C-alpha cells in the first residue's frame, strides 16, 4: 500500500458499505486523469476534479493532487475487497437531508 492509499485507508469504512450493499458493479479499468490501471490499486475515487465542473474516476495519486474531497456530493471512495469487488467505503449519502450541511 502506497502513501496515498494509506491516507485513504484512515477514512475508509468498508463495513458500512457492505451493510448498505453499496458496491460499484461496473468499476473503471483506468484512472480518467492519468490512465493508470486501477487493477493494482486498493482504492479509486469517483469524484469532482478540483477547480473544474468535471468529475472523474481517479487513482489515489491523482485524487491527492486533483480531487475535491471525499463526502456526499463531492466524491465517493471505493475500496477493493479480497474477492475483487469494489465497495463504497466513504462519501456515503446522509441518512436524511438535514445531515448534509450543504443543502
Residue 32: which domain range? 3-91
pLDDT tens for 35-78 read 999 999 999 999 999 999 999 999 999 999 999 999 999 999 99
98 domain-assigned:
no
96 domain-assigned:
no
65 domain-assigned:
yes
Percentage, residues of the chain above pLDDT 90: 89
What pLDDT, on the 0 to 100 scale, is given for residue 98?
Answer: 60
42 domain-assigned:
yes
97 domain-assigned:
no
Q: Report d(CA 64, CA 33) in Å as an integer.
A: 12
- Tell me the average pLDDT across 26-31: 97
What pLDDT, on the 0 to 100 scale, is given for residue 64?
Answer: 96
Q: For the chain, give the number of residues.
A: 103
- Domains in the chain, number: 1
Burial class of residue 76 (count of CB atoms within 10 Å of its CB; 0-12, 13-18, 19+): buried
Amino acid at each position: 500500500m502506497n502513501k496515498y492509499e494509506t491516507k485513504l485507508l484512515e477514512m475508509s469504512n468498508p463495513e458500512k458499505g457492505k451493510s448498505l450493499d453499496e458496491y460499484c458493479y461496473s468499476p473503471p479499468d483506468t484512472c480518467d486523469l492519468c490512465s493508470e490501471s486501477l487493477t493494482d490499486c486498493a482504492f479509486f475515487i469517483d469524484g469532482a476534479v478540483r477547480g473544474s465542473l468535471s468529475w472523474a474516476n481517479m487513482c489515489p495519486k491523482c485524487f491527492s493532487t486533483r480531487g475535491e474531497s471525499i463526502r456526499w456530493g463531492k466524491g465517493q471512495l471505493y475500496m477493493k475487497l479480497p474477492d475483487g469487488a469494489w465497495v463504497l467505503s466513504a462519501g456515503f449519502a446522509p441518512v436524511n437531508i438535514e445531515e448534509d450541511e450543504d443543502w
